[in-house]
Structures are given as C-alpha cells and as structure tokens.
Amino acid sequence: MMDLKKDMQEVLDQFAIRAKNNGGSDGIAQQLTKGAQIASNSPVDGQLIAEVATAAPTDYEAIVLRAEEAFLAWRKWPAPKRGEVIRQYGQALRDNKEMLGKLVSYEMGKSLQEGAGEVQEMIDICDFAVGLSRQLHGLTMHSERPDHRMYEQWHPLGIVGIITAFNFPVAVWSWNAMIALVAGNVTIWKPSEKTPLAAQACMHILSGVFKANQVPAGVCNLVQGTTEIGKLIAADPRIVLVSATGSTRMGMAVGQAVAGRLGKCLLELGGNNAIIVTENADLKLALTGAVFGAVGTAGQRCTTTRRLIIHESVYDQFVAELIKAYGQLQIGNPLDPQVHVGPLIDEAAVVQYEAALVAVQKEGGSILTPAGKLEGEGFESGCYVRPCIAAVQNDYMIVQQETFAPILYVMKYTTLEEAIQMQNGVPQGLSSAIMTGNLKEAEKFLSASGSDCGIANVNIGTSGAEIGGAFGGEKHTGGGRESGSDAWKAYMRRQTSTINYGDDLPLAQGIDFHLG
C-alpha cells in the first residue's frame, strides 16, 4: 500500500496542505475560518492525510459580505478580460495536472487515470469558458412599433453558491465556477466534507492566478464544513443561484429551501442508468461499455451503469461474457496503473453496498458473481468491495433506488418497446444508452417516445460525458443542466430592452391613449 510520507508529501507540499489547514479562502489566499477540524482519511489505505477547519456562522457571514462587495467590481470587468483570467487558470491546471490528479485519486479513491481525467475536465471547461467569454450573445427582435428597436441581453446574477459531492471533488465545481465567473458572477463553494483537500488544492492554484491579475478579493470563495454550511447557502437570499450536486434526498432539501425564498436552483442529483443491449448489438463493444460504466470509480459516478436490459436472444451469451470479464478485474490501490477498481469512499458506503445485496436476494434476485467486502493485506482501510452482477426484475424496490456502489443489475426483455419502458421505469432520469447496429432501433430510442433521460447515447455507455454538451437529467435527477451547450444561461439573467428613437410614443397592441 501507499506510504503517505514518501509518496504523497510532495503533493501536499505542492498545494501548501499541512497537517491542519484553514477551511476558508477568498480566492487570493486570505484565510477566514477558525472552526472545528474535519479529518480527511484516504479510503486507499485508511491513513489520515490532513485536517481542515470548518467555517463557523460568523466566518460564513464574513465571506458572503466580501463576495457581495467583490461582485460590484467583478461584474464591470469585460467578459473577455474575465475569460483571460480563466485561460490562465486552465494553464495552471495543465502545469499541476499530475499532482492534482494524484491528490484526487488518493483522497477520493478513484483510479489514477480517472483522477487525471477529472483534472482534464477542469482544463476543458476552462477552454470552453474562454471561448464563451466572447459569445454571451443575446438576440435582436423586430418591434411592432415604428422607430423602435428591441433586443435582449444577459447580465450576471450575483453570488452563485456551489455545493459539490465527493465523487467528482474538483471537476463539478469547475463546471459551475468557470462558467459563473466568466458570466460575471462571484462564487461560494461548499465541497464535500469527505474530500476537502482537493478543494484546498484548487483554490491554492487559483489564488496565484488571481494575484497575478489583481482579481478583487472575494470573487471565488471556499467554505469548508458539514451539511450545516449547505443549509446556510440554501436559505440565504443573497445567494441568487444555488447549484447543488449530490443525492436526490439532499437535492429535495436544497430545492425546497431555495424555492421557499424564490431563489434559483440548479440540481444535479442521482442516476439509475441503463444500457439496452439489443439482438443487433456488437456484443464486444457492448461489453466494454457495460463493464467500464459499472465499475469505473467503483460504481460511484452519477452516470454509473446500474442496469443492463438485455434482449432474451443474447442474454445468456452476454451475461456469460460479463461474468468472465468481472473475473479479470483487478481490485486494489487505485494509484497502481494495473488496478481497475479502487475503494468505496468510506465504510458507510460499504454498509450500503452490503445492504443492497441482502435486499436483492430478499426480493428474489440472485448474485451471479463473487460479492462482498474485501479484507486482508492491501484492504486495510475497510473500504474495498467486489464489483458484482445480480439477476433481478426491474420493479424490485432495490433496483428502483440508486446504490452508490459497483452492483450491476441484469434483466431480460422481448421487444424494444418493453426495453424502453423498463429503461424509463425508474424515478431517476440522468443517463441512458442503447447498443445496436440497427438504425431504426437507435432512432426510436432517441425519439420523443424513447429514453426520458437528459443524456441518451447510442453505442457508447452511460458514463463519460464531454463538457461540450449540457450535462444533467430529468425527474428525480433534478432537471438542472451544467457544463456546455447553452447551460451558461442558468448563471445569468435575461433582460429584454426596447428603445424608442422616434419623436412619438406609439403604444403596443395599437392602444391609443389620449391626454388632454
């Protein structure tokens, strides 16, 4: 197993992470918080990496006031100038990609490749935001009144609150923050208390860029803490938009709090994603997509493949290939390039995994591969489990829920209409896919009567979205959209303006209003 002192100290030094760290920053390294410490223990080997101070309510208040003040200045910076700051941050991330990726992998437990890939997502969204800084376009419209011009423009909202989850400890923040910043907003970030150090590292890198560009203090803020900080953000009317990523239960609480004050909310919540494997599928291609989708990040992605809906004619063959592939998976230290599957985030996640397996069998399903918690040499953290496959029915209560663990449910279908109904027959609506070489099947899956998810793929898996498209889903997934396409509009307010350049004041709809 990894020796923290030998292998990680260089990483910690790179980002000025000490044994005990302050938990608040205004983006240019001013420390504000003095609250209780939260520990970050690596699920890889169970070692304590470092501790971070949480924000007290007085700390939170100070940060919000500073953010309000910073917004008054930042919104006046030309968007391309804001974009230049983000461009420099993207370059700084390139320079720190290996180190930051390693920290993400060690603190969260995902593979080294996935850790580096997450930092690459940050770089990609920076590139996208730079281009966007010159493309925050509105529209012009023809007025029904003579000598009038109508147009719409987009203005920044103010303070954007960002609440992120442990499974993507840095990328999801960047999806929100880079777009929000380019749009002229300021941000307050509450990361998961399970991965606080990755957030500290992101802000450490950002502080250097902000200093070099004389960015106003308070433009980008970090507030470490538990769910109590999230509740403060959700209830605070000064935070115009709250973007929250996490469980459906968490999102419902945030959504209710924000709606209660008529604020804006962007929710990216749970997924229960399925791949339909038709009789016309390339089974080799489908196997690769299904296995990576199911076991990548140890099943802890919101886009993880949780259900395989397989045509009855190829079910036995495909499941046999799946079982064979699972037998080849290497489980262990995720910083070892030969390892496919790392640990779950903590022992509580292991308990949920074990409870799901019990529920499967209680409802009548069967476990098709070895399953359970791993113990012994290399698994001392208590967070390692075997990825497994279970034969189930789609209407099982446990199948209807999202279990954040590497459990893949397999089931049969007869007609494509039945398969689509099964795919849609869960409360969540994030990601979906169909494996087929038949054009009609693919188009039907993508039609209005096909997948009801925010993401629908053909001949690729459910996981691994690119930043160019809007990311998010429907139903209990929350309805929010982040990242690419026109998702930037969620971070701005639309203003319609009409200019009268004539000598008269004609009224709309032909109304004639006489005075005197």
- Residue 159, classed as helix, strand or coil, is strand
Position 13, amino acid: D
Please list, in sequence order, all residues whose beta carbon lies within 8 angstroms of the beta carbon of residue 196, skipping any fewer than 6 positions away. Answer: 21, 23, 38, 40, 52, 224
Distance, CA of 380 to CA of 332 (rounded, Å): 11
Q: DSSP state, 314?
A: T
Measured over all CA atoms, what is the biggest interatomic distance in the chain, rounded to whole angstroms?
A: 94
| CA 49/CA 433 separation, integer angstroms | 38
Which tokens sit at 253? 């609480």
* 3-state per-residue secondary structure call for 244-303: EECCHHHHHHHHHHHHHCCCEEEEECCCCEEEEECCCCCHHHHHHHHHHHHHHHHHCCCC
d(CA 185, CA 70): 9
**Angle 20-187-53 (CA atoms, 0-180°, nearest 5)?**
15
Amino acid at 484: G
Please, which residues have CB within 8 angstroms of residue 135's CB and are 6 or more apart in sequence? none
Of the residues 302, 383, 388, 453, which is catalytic?
302
268 is catalytic: yes
- Contact by Cβ (8 Å): 350, 383: yes
Q: Specify whether 302 is catalytic.
A: yes
Residues 6+ apart with CB under 8 A from 10: 99
d(CA 341, CA 386): 9
CB 179 within 8 Å of CB 488: yes
User: What are the residues whose beta carbons fall under 8 Å from the beta carbon of 355, sequence distance 6 or more?
Assistant: none
Tokens 């208040």 identify what position?
61
Phi and psi angles of residue 495, each rounded to the nearest 5 degrees, phi first = -130, 125
**Which one is catalytic: 268, 402, 441, 482?**
268
Beta strands in 452-491 (DSSP E): 455-458, 470-471, 474-475, 482-483
| Phi, psi (rounded to 5 degrees) for 179 | -70, -45
Catalytic residue positions, numbered: 268, 302
